[in-house]
Amino acid sequence: MVSKLEPYELPGKRLALLQQCFCQQADPESIAAVYTKRPKESELRTKITGELSMSGYATHHPAPVMEAVLRSVARTWDKFHEASVSPSDFVRTPNGASYEIVNIAGKGRGIIASRDIKAGETILEEAPVLVLPPESVAILIFLTLPREALEAILLLYNEHPGVKRLSAAQDIPVHRLVDLLQGILNTNAFGTHCVSCGNVGVLLLTGSLFNHSDNANVTRQWDDATEKMVFTSERDIKVGEELVLDYVPGMVGLERVERLRGYGILEI
């Protein structure tokens, strides 16, 4: 059974935490500071480079990864801050789309076909809200994003709300926010391969609403030219049918089981 998705708002506690982080601003030079206005590219580059260096990643990976991260951050500022897009827009079905975002009994949010879809048809093309190195621990890169984007990310499902990587050591609002973002990243990020920089992780908004199935009817493929994830129908799909992905295509055995558990899929 499916039902229409109601207008979605950030739960009060998360919204209050976000407001606290942006009202009680830390030292602007601090690595844990948030940006209340769009920073210069040089500021972003310095912060992102510093984060990758502290995580040990920048010492053994080519510079194109940092450039891909920078481009994703710039696009997100363009969309959410400059264009004033509502944080909850990604859970609203666009006019004319071949899909519809709904509530699905027993699953929460999901996506169904709003009309018959032919095999090989493009269903969704989406630029990630953030690109990160694979298996990244440089989670403070999230703090380079505008507030509106962080609010949108906090609307995503979090299978790991108890993450306390930073707040266990220093329980301050920004650390609690980053720990929430870490749980959401662990639950929703897809790995992909870019020609320019190799393997990266990408965090999508609408694309994260596709549910998993071992019998997927939708596939995903990274487009290097547009730097978007493209979701395509794998076969003919009837109107009303749920659109589902295999979250870990190609993985088998224990590796597949553990990765699906990370997504919150425990019964497989």
Query: What letter represents residue 231's amino acid?
Result: F
pLDDT for 262 equals 66
Q: What is the mean pLDDT of residues 85-96?
A: 94
pLDDT for 267 equals 42
Q: What is the mean pLDDT of residues 38-47?
A: 90
CATH code for residues 30-262:
2.170.270.10
Say if residues 20 and 173 touch (Cβ distance below 8 Å).
yes
Is the whole model's pTM more than 0.85, yes or no?
A: yes
Q: What is the mean pLDDT of residues 78-103?
A: 93
Kindly list the distances between the CA atom of residue 226 and the CA atoms of 125, 132, 156, 194, 206, in Å, as whole numbers in the listed order.
9, 17, 24, 11, 17
* Higher-confidence position of 249 and 14: 14
Choice among 2-6, 178-182, 190-194 with the minimum mean pLDDT: 2-6
State residue 168 phi and psi, 5-degree precision: -65, -35
* Higher-confidence position of 118 and 105: 118
pLDDT for 55 equals 64
Give CA–CA dist 197/189, Å, rounded: 17
Residue 186: count of CB within 10 angstroms of its CB: 16
pLDDT for 49 equals 81
Kindly list the distances between the CA atom of residue 266 and the CA atoms of 107, 221, 261, in Å, as whole numbers in the listed order.
13, 25, 5
Quickly state the pLDDT bin for 241 (edges 50, 70, 90).
Answer: very high
pLDDT for 14 equals 94
* Total length of the chain: 268
Q: What is the mean pLDDT of residues 240-246?
A: 96
Q: Is 200 helix (H, G, I), strand (E, B) or coil?
A: strand
Q: What is the mean pLDDT of residues 221-226?
A: 95
pLDDT at 1 over 90: no
**How confident is the model over 128-178, as pLDDT tens digits?**
999 988 766 678 899 999 999 999 999 999 988 888 988 999 899 999 999
Closest among 209, 191, 197, 188 to 94, alpha carbons compared: 209
Domain ranges of the chain: 30-262
* Higher-confidence position of 13 and 259: 13
Q: What is the mean pLDDT of residues 106-133?
A: 95
Question: Token pair 């990370």 is at which residue?
Answer: 262
Helices in 36-195 by DSSP H: which ranges? 41-54, 64-77, 147-154, 173-188
pLDDT for 28 equals 54
Residue 50: count of CB within 10 angstroms of its CB: 15
Give CA–CA dist 177/158, Å, rounded: 13
Quickly state the pLDDT bin for 266 (edges 50, 70, 90).
Answer: very low
pLDDT for 160 equals 84
Q: What is the mean pLDDT of residues 38-52?
A: 86
* Higher-confidence position of 26 and 111: 111
Quickly state the pLDDT bin for 57 (edges 50, 70, 90).
Answer: low
